[in-house]
Amino acid sequence: MSAEIARVEGRDLEAMRLYETAIRAAQESGSARHEAIANELAAGFYLQHAVARAGRACLEQARDSYLRWGALTKAKHLDAKIEELRARAPRPGSEPSLLDRLDLSSVVKATTAISTGLAPENLFETLMRILVEHAGADRGLLLVERAGAWHVRAEATAADSAVEVRVLDRAATGADLPLSALQYTTQVRRPLLLDDARLAADHPADLRQLRSRPRSLLCVPLVKQEMLAGVVYLENTMAADAFPPERIALLEVLGSQAAVALENARLYAELEEENRERRKAEEELRESECRWRNLFATAAVSLWQLDFSDVEQRLDQLRSQGVHDFGSYFAGHPEFAREAVGLVKIIDVNEATLELLGARSKQELKPDAILLPETMAAYGEQIVALAERRTPFNAETALRSLTGERIDVLLSMSVPPQPAKLDDVLVAFVDLRERKATEEALLRAREELARVTRVSTVGELAASIAHEINQPLAAMASYAGAALLWLQRAPPDVERARDTVERTIREGEHAAEIVSRVRALVKKAPPRTEPVEINELILEVLDLTGNEVKRNRISLRTRLSADDPVVRGDRIQLQQVLLNLILNAVEAMSEPGISSSELSISSRMEGANEVLVEVRDSGRGLQAGTVERIFDPFFTTRPDGMGMGLSISRSIVIAHGGRLWATPNEPRGAVFQFALPAVEPDPYPKG
Amino acid sequence: MPLLWPLPENLTISIVDDDPAVRDALWRLMDSAGLAATAFSSAEEFLASPSRDETTCLILDVRMPGMNGLELQRHLVASNWKVPIIFMSAHAEAGVRERALQAGAVEFFEKPFNSAALLDAIDAARVGRAPGAPGK
């Protein structure tokens, strides 16, 4: 039945194959009746297609089957038909027709080969072998169009009795076949039969280009339902009329089947390719999934796969209530962050996470256990980032380990863009404790350096300070000696003795003050914030440096603000700044060749909120090009300088919310100024 | 303002030091010892004063703004001024002591010093040497 349907529908080769299948099935079942019918139908098909010998063979089979079955009338009827066919058959000795050469079994073989799903290469080979073998060609090409160009996909050559087929893939050229013939066939979509004489007359150039010297040429389009699937080119170098019309007709039949097969092959190839690609993609996906899993599991960073679906739902709810600016909504509803965090579901966490938080399983990682109340704002920010699909989102925050330890972390999240769901978001936490520790170590090192610099500055001043202390000590010794002498008098002059003793005590206090001031300079005092009277600070530092100033014969002028400005900060650090600036000024003016050295120190209010302190010298001044660099660490113009003084001074001033800068003085020298924020004087001064 | 005191033996001690406390303390020590003394805050002040020629012993600080102690000594020696000089310094700089003694100083004290030792040195200078007189 399906063979008949195939016939009606014009699927000839398939019909042939199906007839054959039906016949074989009938034989196997032992049903003579079915075998007879199958054979008769097959014969009808072949005769319809002018394949007389195959048709006659089928009819003979059908007749025999009918006889076996007992349908004598039917058998007789078929006998008459067979006789008729036999009479019409060409006489032996005449040129063998295609029919003679294309026996039934070959056709069936071809049909089967073509119709069963073969890889293109096998199909090309089979098709060409059958066509060349049975068409009486000594060379044949299978041409397939691809991307607008014709390609030779198979070349068959008959040598002696064997046919050799090579499967190839190269662009067709004029050496393969006459391109004019190919063009005609593809345009008209009908077979073209030529002999060499005709070709020489119409397209002499084509003939010259050919590698072979064919006498007969045949181009058959492989057309199926208006679709050109390929072209078969056959040639015969022996005879000018090697391809008679009936042979062409059969080739057309085979050709249309071949077209379907080729199309199938193409689809098959595409499918194969697609399969391969899909397999490859799947494999890659599996691999990447595997890699990702591996990375996830073994990463040193804490990784979380989180499901924010419920959060998203809640956010959608808010949106439907008219909330669009989540940033300000969160600011106004701090409790929402807590609620949203509670809606987050943990899909998975890696080992590093459990290790970081000291947990045994992800079940232990409840928000209440691992989140600190003071960090809730950061997690709120994260929810806002999710709502706005802002990616990547990074925030410095903290987690709490299950043992209660605060862990400073960097939260890093990449939010999938719309319209992806938020049901699998990867969040990473980087442990910042180590970094924090490094930062703290750096800070300590900086403090230490500042202290060392302070000490070395003091070291330079040590001799001078010793002088400072020795003066009151010398005075004390003298006063004490005098007091003793007054008391040794007869009678003792108690009044004078008391006076000198009092002076001794005062000088003792003076010496103690100096000592404590030095100690304060050297002491590693933690930064303190206290109200500092700038004028007092200036006088203290001048007290310490006074001797240096005098020794270098520098005339000192002070103009201190009558407002008694107060700043807030670390008195010792601010002393350090001023000490540095004054010593630098002294140094700049102590060079040979500097006459009339004048150091001027002033303080004044700049507006209502700023205190300005100015240290003006008449020294060698600032060299052009170095003004900006003098504040750089390790930059120095002195051969014995460390280059840290101004750098540290500026850091201190900046740490106090102020600024420090330098300008040239007129007519020479430099002006260093620093400005600090002024505060209200302390209403309850100590002491 | 230099402080003047009537001299029991017609002698005058001159003190030159820029530190007001030291100046005052030394003057009071001389006073308690019954010595007349005049104190000056700088070498220039001393040189400009008429007391310069009445001085029998000079107590001189090394480090001072303007002309320092060694410069004053050099100046006085150059003008053939033969009054004994007792040096004192709060700042022991290498070589200063040697230079001072070489140039003729009778004593070099490092501050702080024992007041009795200073008085002894003054006494020794007065006994051992001719009283200061204008160098001519």
Three-class SS state of B99:
helix
pLDDT value, residue A279: 79
Domain positions in chain A are: 2-99, 104-270, 299-431, 432-526, 529-687
Nearest in space to A676 (alpha carbons), one of A542, A529, A553: A529
A491 preceded by cis ω (within 30°)?
yes
Which among A463, A482, A550 is the nearest to B28, CB-wise? A482
d(CA B20, nearest CA chain A) in Å: 9
Q: Which residues of A touch B114 (CB under 8 A)?
A: 477, 481
Q: Do B32 and A482 touch (CB under 8 A)?
A: yes
Q: Do B28 and A503 touch (CB under 8 A)?
A: yes
State the best of B13, B22, B70, B89 to mutate against chain A, taking most chain A CBs within 10 Å. B22
pLDDT value, residue B7: 35
B134 preceded by cis ω (within 30°)?
no
pLDDT value, residue B74: 93
- Cα–Cα distance for residue pair A503/A481, rounded to 1 Å: 12
Start-to-end C-alpha separation, chain A:
121
State the best of B5, B28, B63, B86 to mutate against chain A, taking most chain A CBs within 10 Å. B28
Strands A227-236 and A216-224: antiparallel
Q: Do B29 and A463 touch (CB under 8 A)?
A: no
Which among A468, A481, A550 is the nearest to B65, CB-wise? A550
pLDDT value, residue A647: 73
- What separation in angstroms does the CA of A108 have from each of A34, A64, A131, A133, A254? 20, 21, 13, 14, 11
Q: Do A496 and B32 touch (CB under 8 A)?
A: yes
Phi, psi of B95 (to 5 degrees): 90, -20
pLDDT value, residue A616: 94
Positive or negative: CA dihedral B39, B45, B47, B51: negative
Domains A104-270 and A299-431 share a fold: yes
Q: Which residue of B has its CA nearest to A554?
A: B65
Could you tell me which residues come within 8 angstroms of residue A223 by beta carbon, excluding any fewer than 6 positions away? Answer: A189, A229, A255, A256, A259
pLDDT value, residue A389: 82
Segments in chain B below pLDDT 70: 1-11, 92-93, 127-136
pLDDT value, residue A110: 63
CATH of domain A104-270: 3.30.450.40
A548 touches chain B (CB under 8 A): no
Domain at A529-687, CATH class: alpha beta
Q: Which residues of A touch B31 (CB under 8 A)?
A: 482
Q: Splitting chain A (687 residues) into consecutive groups of 10 residues, what average pLDDT does each group show?
A: 62 69 73 75 70 70 74 74 64 43 54 60 78 82 86 86 83 89 86 81 82 86 79 86 74 71 72 78 77 76 88 88 83 82 88 88 84 81 83 84 87 79 84 75 63 55 70 93 91 93 92 75 60 90 79 87 89 84 85 79 91 92 72 57 66 86 87 92 51
pLDDT value, residue A613: 96
Q: HSE (CB half, 13 Å, CA atoms) of A626?
A: 14
- DSSP letter, residue B117: H
Nearest in space to A425 (alpha carbons), one of A387, A395, A396: A387
A672 touches chain B (CB under 8 A): no
Question: What pTM value is reported for the model?
Answer: 0.33
Q: What share of chain A is helix, strand, coil (3-state, %, to 5)?
A: 55, 20, 25
pLDDT value, residue B130: 40
CATH topology of domain A299-431: Beta-Lactamase (3.30.450)
A188 touches chain B (CB under 8 A): no
CATH topology of domain A2-99: 1.25.40
Q: Which residue of A has its CA nearest to B26?
A: A478
Which among B21, B91, B116 is the nearest to A507, CB-wise? B21
d(CA A479, nearest CA chain B) in Å: 5
pLDDT value, residue A453: 57
A467 touches chain B (CB under 8 A): yes
pLDDT value, residue B60: 95
